[in-house]
């Protein structure tokens, strides 16, 4: 693609610019903002943290503005932004990201609201297979597995397997050879096989959970048992190899016995005044819990459980704290229901 063609594709052919060097800040921001949400999702996959992804996107736009004269249309403006965003993530990882805990917990993990993912899907003209890949690779199990990879293989995996970039373009982005990129991709895929759930071979996260009537019914029963704090019913709904976690708190529990024991010892069985709001997070069913607070005369945010199901049972529960509610578009409070 020639520089002229690339600039024409941005609607800038009449501006007489050299690259984007003469484009005003307002016009440039308008061009970049069109890609904000998809860049944010990309950075989230890289970093596992919604807040870190926001920082990375802001850094991306700052770097892009400062370097705008280097864009001459040889690649698409979108690809140019992805290159800057990937390098911004790699720089952040080099400075700020710790290793996952010994048990595999990713304590910096944060949920991603489906409403924001819908913003990307609404403008995505990809084939159904690519859309399914986008769904599966935003689920928490995938995002957690990615966090166990070294930064550069992580970038290669996401660029190649999620975004379907050619190896040559990934090599150019990272300043590596194609052979190095292919080698990194193989290492990354091996690492993912090690850290993804055992049932990954037949894992169909691309299926819209909200369209599965059986799953909706299962979530309803889980919600009712949770509100009733009926541990016996909940214990019957979880798999023997259940995993529960509560980032950023180190609270990994593995196995039905350990999880049920934790529920009992934490006093869950005696909880009262709970109400719930069903939702979806990271393309997974989730239940937001609110607890009655008499002083405020309302139910206030407590926690949100993000659920993963396999073979008709719950295989993983990731619990997030109340500080995530505003980002997920959940109510700040629920009124009294007349039962308190």
User: Among 84-98, 115-129, 295-309, where is mean pLDDT lowest?
Assistant: 115-129
Answer whether residue 63 shows pLDDT above 50: yes
Looking at per-residue pLDDT, the higher value among 263 and 211 belongs to 263
**Tokens 């403006």 appear where?**
77
Q: Is the N-terminal amide bond of 137 cis, ω within 30° of 0?
A: no
Looking at per-residue pLDDT, the higher value among 270 and 169 belongs to 169
Left, alpha or beta for 24 (phi > 0: left; psi -120 to 50: alpha)?
Answer: beta
- Residue 84 phi/psi, 5-degree rounding, is -65, -40
pLDDT category of residue 96 using cuts at 50, 70 and 90: confident
Which pLDDT score, from 0 to 100, does residue 45 have? Answer: 98
What is the CATH number that goes with domain 209-335?
Answer: 3.10.450.50
Q: What is the pLDDT of residues 262-279, one digit of tens each?
A: 999 988 887 889 999 999
> Mean pLDDT for the chain?
87
Q: Where do the domains of the chain lie?
A: 3-202, 209-335
Q: What is the mean pLDDT of residues 315-329?
A: 96
Handedness of CA 143, 144, 146, 147 (dihedral sign): positive
- Nearest-10 crossing angle of helices 77-96, 167-174: 50
Which pLDDT score, from 0 to 100, does residue 127 have? Answer: 64
User: Among 27-31, 60-64, 159-163, 184-188, where is mean pLDDT lowest?
Assistant: 27-31
Which pLDDT score, from 0 to 100, does residue 8 have? Answer: 47
Three-state SS at 316: strand
Which pLDDT score, from 0 to 100, does residue 123 have? Answer: 62
pLDDT category of residue 57 using cuts at 50, 70 and 90: very high
Which pLDDT score, from 0 to 100, does residue 282 have? Answer: 97
pTM: 0.89
Q: Is 307:278 a contact under the CB 8 Å cutoff?
A: no
Which pLDDT score, from 0 to 100, does residue 133 have? Answer: 84
CB-based contacts of 153, cutoff 8 Å, min separation 6:
184, 185, 187, 188, 191
Q: What is the pLDDT of residues 26-38, one digit of tens each?
A: 778 888 999 999 9
Which pLDDT score, from 0 to 100, does residue 23 have? Answer: 65
Answer whether residue 1 shows pLDDT above 60: no
Q: What is the pLDDT of residues 152-163, one digit of tens each?
A: 999 999 999 999
Rounded to an integer, what distance in angstroms lies between the CA atom of residue 22 and that of residue 231? Answer: 65
Which pLDDT score, from 0 to 100, does residue 201 have? Answer: 41
């Amino acid at each position: 693609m020639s520089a002229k063609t690339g600039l024409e594709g941005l609607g800038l052919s009449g501006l007489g610019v050299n690259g984007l060097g003469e484009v005003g800040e307002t016009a440039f921001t308008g061009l970049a903002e069109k890609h904000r949400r998809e860049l944010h999702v990309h950075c989230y996959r890289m970093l596992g943290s919604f807040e870190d992804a926001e920082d990375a996107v802001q850094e991306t736009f700052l770097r892009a503005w400062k370097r705008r004269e280097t864009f001459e249309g040889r690649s698409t403006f979108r690809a140019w932004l992805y290159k800057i965003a990937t390098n911004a993530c790699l720089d952040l990882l080099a400075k700020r990201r710790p290793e996952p805990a010994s048990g595999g917990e990713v304590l910096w993990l944060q949920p991603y609201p489906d409403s924001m993912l819908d913003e990307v899907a609404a403008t995505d003209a990809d084939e159904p297979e690519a859309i399914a890949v986008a769904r599966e690779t935003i689920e928490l199990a995938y995002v957690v597995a990615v966090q166990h990879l070294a930064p550069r293989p992580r970038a290669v995996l996401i660029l190649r397997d999620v975004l379907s970039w050619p190896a040559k373009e990934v090599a150019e982005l990272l300043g590596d050879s194609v052979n190095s990129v292919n080698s990194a991709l193989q290492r990354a895929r091996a690492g993912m096989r090690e850290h993804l759930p055992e049932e990954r071979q037949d894992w169909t996260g691309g299926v819209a959970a909200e369209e599965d009537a059986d799953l909706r019914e299962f979530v309803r029963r889980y919600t009712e048992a949770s509100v009733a704090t009926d541990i016996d019913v909940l214990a019957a709904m979880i798999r023997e190899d259940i995993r529960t976690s509560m980032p950023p708190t180190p609270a990994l529990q593995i196995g039905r016995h350990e999880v049920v024991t934790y529920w009992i010892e934490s006093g869950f069985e005696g909880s009262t005044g709970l109400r719930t709001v069903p939702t979806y997070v990271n393309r997974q069913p989730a239940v937001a819990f609110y607890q009655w607070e008499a002083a405020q005369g309302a139910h206030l945010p407590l926690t949100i459980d993000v659920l993963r199901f396999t073979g008709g049972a719950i295989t993983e529960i990731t619990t997030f704290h109340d500080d995530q509610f505003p980002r997920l578009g959940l109510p700040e409070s629920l009124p009294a229901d007349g039962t308190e």
